[in-house]
Amino acid sequence: MTNAIIGTWRMAAEGVELAAPDLVKGGSAADAVTRGIMAVEDNPDNISVGFGGLPNRDGVLEMDSAFMNGDDFQIGAVAGVRDIANPILVSRRLSQERVNNVLVGIGAEEYAAAQGFARKNMLTDKAQAEYTKRKAASQRGERLTPYDGHDTVGMIALDEAGTMVAGTSTSGLFMKHAGRVGDSPLAGNGFYVDSEVGGAVATGLGEDMMKRPLCFETVDLMARGLGVQDALDQAVYGFIAKLQARNGKVGEFSYVALDNRGNFAVASNVEFQFAVAVNGAAHLYLVTPLDLGQVQLRQEY
Ligand code: GLY
């Protein structure tokens, strides 16, 4: 059997490296994704996920997250949650419920409290200072777009028993409108996994990525016989081209995918990094887009 874990951006490397040895020892994909994403959420240097994430335009940090089990398709997700130490833990617990699997705002926070999950002030002094700087620039009349720091951590794991799990966590766009929700908690758009096939997770501009469920489409194309890279390319680049033709513009799109044999793939229209460990051997890759549909991969370690 093969075990594997893959995660978006350099920030995922720490989590991938923590979780990979457990997978080698027979640990579950669910624990690997949970542990991997918690490491990213807990690190205050990551400015777009969990503790240390950058806030919305009111100076409040609101987070989105999801967890999906590829054996039974159970999904849990939260959106617009505040002051929860680890949104991925709440998403995972919600995925075990029969109903009420996706909760937003106060309802999600009440659920988390009732389940005993830790509350924490997630806004660090550094994030607060960045917000104050941005707000001052806005008051000076500089046009600001809610852009910087919107990178999501998404992870997919495959364990020795053949179970696959996907998860996401993000604080969304810096200076977003209060209550704004991106693609990360949306099944099919931000993540999808089927243990008999594979999974995909997304990071980029949620407003564009929610226009089509490319993670689901990737898995569906794999189920129809395409290899993981061909499936991802067909789903992602086909839609980017369509969006460009229809709208004349397209946001950032980056995806990683993993099949149920441990083969992985990447598609991106921006420079992007991802971390992956297959049977415990961890690597970090830099992805540079060339012409649409083609990327150059450089193994950094
Ligand atoms: N992709 C994360 C977001 O747009 O919120």
Cα(204) to centroid(ligand 1), Å:
6
What atom of ligand 1 comes closest to residue 190's alpha carbon? 1
Q: What is the pLDDT of residue 148?
A: 55
CA-atom Rg of the chain in angstroms: 18
Q: What is the pLDDT of residue 143?
A: 62
Q: Give me the mean pLDDT over the 203-227 stretch.
A: 97
The Cα angle at residue 298 between residues 292 and 300, in degrees rounded to 5? 145
Task: Report, at the CATH architecture level, how domain 4-299 is classified.
Answer: 4-Layer Sandwich (3.60)
Ligand 1 pocket by C-beta < 6 Å: which residues? 150, 152, 170, 172-173, 182-184, 203-206
Q: What is the pLDDT of residue 91?
A: 98
Q: What is the pLDDT of residue 144?
A: 60
Token representation of residue 152: 């999501």
Q: Give me the mean pLDDT over the 71-86 stretch.
A: 98
The pLDDT tens digits for 85-108 are: 999 999 999 999 999 999 999 999
Helix H or strand E segment including 259: strand 253-259
Confidence of residue 138 (pLDDT cuts 50, 70, 90): confident
Based on the residue annotation, tell me whether 152 is a catalytic residue of this protein: yes
Percentage, residues of the chain above pLDDT 90: 92
Res 113 pLDDT > 60: yes
- CA dist 164 and 216 (Å) reads 14
Q: Which residue has the tokens 């924490």?
A: 120
Among the options 152, 170, 203, 218, which is catalytic?
152
Token representation of residue 50: 């969990």
Cα(161) to centroid(ligand 1), Å:
31
The overall pTM is greater than 0.85: yes
Q: What is the pLDDT of residue 147?
A: 54
Cα(64) to centroid(ligand 1), Å:
9
Q: What is the pLDDT of residue 137?
A: 83
What atom of ligand 1 comes closest to residue 202's alpha carbon? 1
CA-proximal residue: ligand 1, atom 4 (nearest): 206
Cα(149) to centroid(ligand 1), Å:
10
